[in-house]
Chains A and B, each alone.
Chain A
Amino acid sequence: MKKNTGFIPDETYLKDIDAAALSGGLFEPLPSEEKQTDVINRPSVSYWENARAKLKADPLAMGGFMIIAIMIALAVFGPMMRPYAYDEQNYSIANQTPSADHWFGTDKFGRDLFVRVAYGARISLTVGMAAAAINMAVGVIYGGISGFVGGRTDMLMMRIVDIIMAVPSLLYIILVMVFLGAHMHSIIIALCFTYWLGTARIVRAQILSIKSQDFVLAAKVIGETDSKILFRHLIPNSMGPIIVTVTFLIPQAIFYEAFLSFIGIGIAVPVASWGTLANDSLSNMNTYPHLMLFPALAISLTIFAFNFIGDGLRDALDPRLKR
């Protein structure tokens, strides 16, 4: 790019004017304190720095992050901390209450509940994050293209979204589960069928609202290709709402996994998902309530934590809520 060749007053020129004006007695020099009032002495805070600071000040969101960190630690290290496998049966120690040997007790086959809950954390977190990541990718690309291209393409793409959305997603999820069978990856795939719709709508709305702004025009003027404008300018600028949506997708995915496993079409035995564990404990819940307590606690806490993080992020990333 060529350099700006407009008239720029240099130092000496300004000094000459000053001297001329002062010698005529027309002007007085400004006291130095008053000159300082125009100086911007607050460090400039970028959007993301501001968001991070707001998030750090939100105790609920930070609590949520802490719970998720504990859950991730449980998922990664939990099964290694105890000398039992998640499917190791031992009838001599069936249905034990929590003790030093078995922190959360054992189930009716004598399997260690702590290890099973930790294993469940692996499944739930994997399902939640994988589903959210895939859906974010699909939703962002679909919504981005729809909003950016506009016109008939947009109409058609959004009608497709409307058509799929009119039916409760649970029906599609169950159908895909019947088709694919009870595995972890089939839950992720099933969730992918309908999950991206919401993200796509939000991304499209964002793109529509920012695509007529001047920086996009400027990018066009200097000859950026359309895909570069979309992926380098428009999508990064709508990242705030996207992140918030995706944070709320994670607990939903975890909920669906637990729900499907609970009604018996999610993850098959002997793999321990939180939903399966809750379902297993039903039959003798009256005598051994601890079998229900720990998985239920794990599910609720995790969903709780993600919801808090989502709320915190929404407040932190909304530019209209500036301090």
Chain B
Amino acid sequence: MAKYILKRLAAAGISMLVLVTATFFLMHAVPGSPFSPGEQRNVPPKVLENLRSKYGLDLPVWKQYLNYMDNLFHGNLGYSFKKLNYTVNELITSGFPASAVVGALAILFALAVGIPLGITSALKRGGWMDWFSMILATVGISMPIFIIAILLMFVFSMKLQILPIYGYGTASHLVIPVICLAFSPIAYITRLMRSSMLEVLRQDYIRSTRARGVPELMVIAKHGVRNSILPVVTYIGPLIAILLTGSFVVERLFMIPGIGRYFVTAVSERDYSVILGITIFYGAFIMLCTLLVDVAYAIIDPRVKFTD
């Protein structure tokens, strides 16, 4: 167990190193730095020179890289190039709560809707619930999140006017963003739950439990769901990465002050240090979540062996 976790941590460390290095050199290879004379026409060259030396941009690239890595190991992601007097750390800590709230609610909502929907459509195979979940899944997989977001915005905020269009702060602001983010995960979870439930219901132990006269509800809840929920648990890892894509759209559209919005703004403003910092943060966060999910999975399912 400890060996497995250590191995996974080492692999994640190498992945991070590759990501950091690739990001660093890509961002430095982009033609035109934010303080080059071409980009800042109204600033005297002497000032630009001072700026460049303040940010360490006058050093050779390998030295900048070593400096960056040194700072990174001390948890310092440097200053933003565009937002005056802001460090990347400050941006992340100010954006993380909003992103985390919306993301966590979306995961909970997706699980709360997807699992029961999957179970009922497996139990009543071919019924209207099954058809409904099938349609939902097809739509959820085919419709890009930004179109779902716009549709919901159009219907609930503009036509019906029962929910605020955008903003952040009250619970009513969260409704549409959370539904948007949860939409395609609900589709996936429903399909996953349905197929694994169908598989489990075919097993002998379900038949023998029924034969023993256990009430149907107990058969489903205790023996069916417990055994069929495992694929859904594994899906939570990739789900966090999917929410990332969603958060870029949702936070931008609904003006939620989260990391995703900062990232998109940084990309369009070419704020390299913020892009670099947030990419590293995302990478580390997602890898950590995936690792936790995998370990949790291995604990839940005793059949999983810690070999790989």
Chain A contacts with B in 255-314, Cβ cutoff 8 A:
255, 258-259, 262-265, 275, 278, 282, 285-286, 289, 292, 296, 299-300, 303-304, 307
Report whether A164 and B18 are in contact in the complex, using a CB–CB cutoff of 8 Å: yes
List chain B residues, Cβ under 8 A from A286.
154, 158
From B24-32, B39-47, B175-183, B228-236, the one touching the partner chain is B24-32
List chain A residues, Cβ under 8 A from B307.
none
Report whether A307 and B138 are in contact in the complex, using a CB–CB cutoff of 8 Å: yes
Some 25 contacts from A to B, beta carbons below 8 A apart, are A162-B11, A163-B18, A166-B12, A167-B15, A167-B287, A171-B282, A174-B279, A175-B26, A175-B279, A178-B26, A178-B30, A178-B275, A179-B27, A259-B144, A262-B249, A264-B264, A278-B146, A285-B153, A285-B154, A286-B154, A286-B158, A296-B147, A296-B151, A304-B138, A307-B142
Q: How far is the CA of A166 from the CA of B14 in the complex (A)?
A: 10
Starting from the known contacts A166-B287, A179-B29, 8 additional A-B residue pairs (CB-CB under 8 Å) come to A171-B283, A174-B275, A265-B267, A282-B253, A286-B154, A299-B147, A300-B143, A303-B142
B245 at the interface (CB under 8 A from A): yes
List chain A residues, Cβ under 8 A from B147.
278, 296, 299-300
Chain A interface (Cβ < 8 Å from any Cβ of B): 162-164, 166-168, 170-172, 174-179, 251, 255, 258-259, 262-265, 275, 278, 282, 285-286, 289, 292, 296, 299-300, 303-304, 307
Q: Chain B's interface: helix, strand, loop or mixed, by majority?
A: helix
Least CB distance, A250 to chain B, in whole angstroms: 13
B144 partner, pick from A172, A174, A264, A300, beta carbons under 8 A: A300
List chain B residues, Cβ under 8 A from A171.
19, 279, 282-283
List the B residue with the shortest CB-CB distance to A302: B142
Given A265-B268, A282-B150, CB of A178 within 8 Å of CB of B27: yes
Chain B contacts with A in 141-162, Cβ cutoff 8 A:
141-147, 150-151, 153-154, 158
List the A residue with the shortest CB-CB distance to B159: A286
Interface string of B62-78 (1 = CB under 8 A from A): 00000000000000000
Q: How far is the CA of A189 from the CA of B264 in the complex (A)?
A: 20
Q: How far is the CA of A168 from the CA of B270 in the complex (A)?
A: 21
Report whether B245 and A259 are in contact in the complex, using a CB–CB cutoff of 8 Å: yes
B142 partner, pick from A162, A258, A304, beta carbons under 8 A: A304
Least CB distance, B253 to chain A, in whole angstroms: 8
Least CB distance, A76 to chain B, in whole angstroms: 23
Q: How far is the CA of A278 from the CA of B19 in the complex (A)?
A: 32
Chain B interface (Cβ < 8 Å from any Cβ of A): 11-12, 14-15, 18-19, 22-23, 26-27, 29-30, 138, 141-147, 150-151, 153-154, 158, 241, 244-245, 248-249, 252-253, 263-264, 267-268, 270, 275, 279, 282-283, 286-287, 290
Q: How far is the CA of A285 from the CA of B157 in the complex (A)?
A: 12
Q: How far is the CA of A282 from the CA of B147 in the complex (A)?
A: 11
Report whether A262 and B12 are in contact in the complex, using a CB–CB cutoff of 8 Å: no
List chain B residues, Cβ under 8 A from A167.
15, 19, 283, 286-287
List chain B residues, Cβ under 8 A from A166.
11-12, 15, 287, 290
List chain A residues, Cβ under 8 A from B153.
285
Given A300-B147, A303-B142, A304-B138, CB of A263 within 8 Å of CB of B264: yes
List chain A residues, Cβ under 8 A from B268.
264-265
List chain B residues, Cβ under 8 A from A174.
263, 267, 275, 279
